[in-house]
Structure 1
């Protein structure tokens, strides 16, 4: 199975000997999030040096000092839930950044620049989590691939709006998707390597922004009304 799929591990699945203590009150809301956070942070750190398939519950327990019963109390679905939560959180942060930063600008070109900048800042701050996504997140059907596609769809919608605002309404959607995927590829070149410096990210962001705007104008010339 590809990355982030359900992992079948002898010692990590719930069995008849269920490690969760029955009868204890369930934790929810902010209390649950607070307890899950150290495990999620540990999983994110581990992604800097290994494939997700190499991360076991035992390894997370060692990293956090959490007991097995406690782990399954916080993550009843085991590792699948850990990675689902981790990637969903990273994806949500990216979408919020993109929409928020674009909304601050009045001019279409400024919005495009702000969107590219927001993407690269997100990658730098997420660190090893983004490294893990781009190392393994192109596996069809995986959790990382699914959330990655959601982010791409948001970016495509934003760029489509800005292209129209720039007076470029005839660029096909598939061309816009190509441009958005190119931006992501430019980011992956940097973020696949961990750690990455602010200088490296800024250089890649600057180059990517210039090339994106140039390609958008080129596409406008190619696809005239």
Structure 2
């Protein structure tokens, strides 16, 4: 009897993964990477820490990613998509002027709120050219500039000067960073602090991206600007 006719025994070992199982493992690694990044930042993250957090073996990790930066890029991809997509969706609704500025700020704050403690290392590395966060920030800013420019053009308003738009976005970054940096780990920002920060951001966006009609309208809204002191005060 030839050996070609002999039935070979089935190979032992781990059964093949389904696509759904593979996606679940990948998501587990990405989630663990976000946790490690939140604690240590990008420079303090390693494959060893990620696999410990995920409860997976090193060979399993390398089946999906080549190094610790790749799953961090996946985390940052989602973050950027949420930020740019959220602002785009907010500006899609009817309205213009002050209403647009308020919706932009609220979309930015919603994005920040969804990150929780991860905001701290995220903002700490925005201007670090050695961190992947810096490159993703540039991509996000380009996306926001394009969305805002398109919306202004559709509304018949002059497209903001690049420096004005960048100034507004940088101030929003700084204000949200201040909020996140002052919050103790495991705590939520104080609602009054967030409300005051929101007002600061709206005023700056109004001053840099608005026109005189926008300012006059905003001055008629309660709480946007402090009332002028009377002569007798």
Q: TM-score, normalised by structure 2?
A: 0.71
Compute the displacement of 1:26 (Å). 7.8
Instruction: Provide the aligned C-alpha RMSD in A.
Output: 2.9
Instruction: Say whether 1:54 aligns with 2:44.
Output: yes
Alpha-carbon separation, structure 2, partners of 1:85 and 1:26? 21
CA gap of 1:106–1:122, structure 2 versus 1, over 3 A, is: same
Alpha-carbon separation, structure 1, partners of 2:194 and 2:29? 28
Instruction: Give the secondary-structure state (helix, strand or coil) at the position aligned to 1:66.
Output: coil
Q: 2:147 is matched with which residue?
A: 158
Compute the displacement of 1:61 (Å). 1.7
Residue of 85, 108, 112 corresponding to 1:123:
112
- 174-183 vs 185-194, greater mean Cα deviation: 185-194
Structure exhibiting the larger radius of gyration computed from Cα positions: 2
Instruction: Give the secondary-structure state (helix, strand or coil) at the position aligned to 1:107.
Output: coil
Which runs of 5 or more residues in structure 1 are unaligned?
Answer: 1-22, 221-225
Query: Residues 15-74 of structure 1: CA distance to partner in whole angstroms, max 9, x if unpaired?
Result: xxxxxxxx996876x554322222222222233332322222111222121111111112
Q: 1:65 is matched with which residue?
A: 55
CA gap of 1:41–1:112, structure 2 versus 1, over 3 A, is: same
Residue of 101, 109, 114 corresponding to 1:112:
101
Q: 1:209 is matched with which residue?
A: 202
Alpha-carbon separation, structure 1, partners of 2:27 and 2:195? 29
Alpha-carbon separation, structure 1, partners of 2:190 and 2:89? 22
Question: Retained in 2: the 8 A contact 1:101–1:114?
Answer: yes
**Bigger RCO (CA 8 Å, 6+ sep):** 1
Alpha-carbon separation, structure 2, partners of 1:25 and 1:144? 35
Alpha-carbon separation, structure 2, partners of 1:71 and 1:117? 37
Q: 2:223 is matched with which residue?
A: none
Which runs of 5 or more residues in structure 2 are unaligned?
Answer: 1-13, 214-233
Q: 2:162 is matched with which residue?
A: 173
Q: TM-score, normalised by structure 1?
A: 0.73
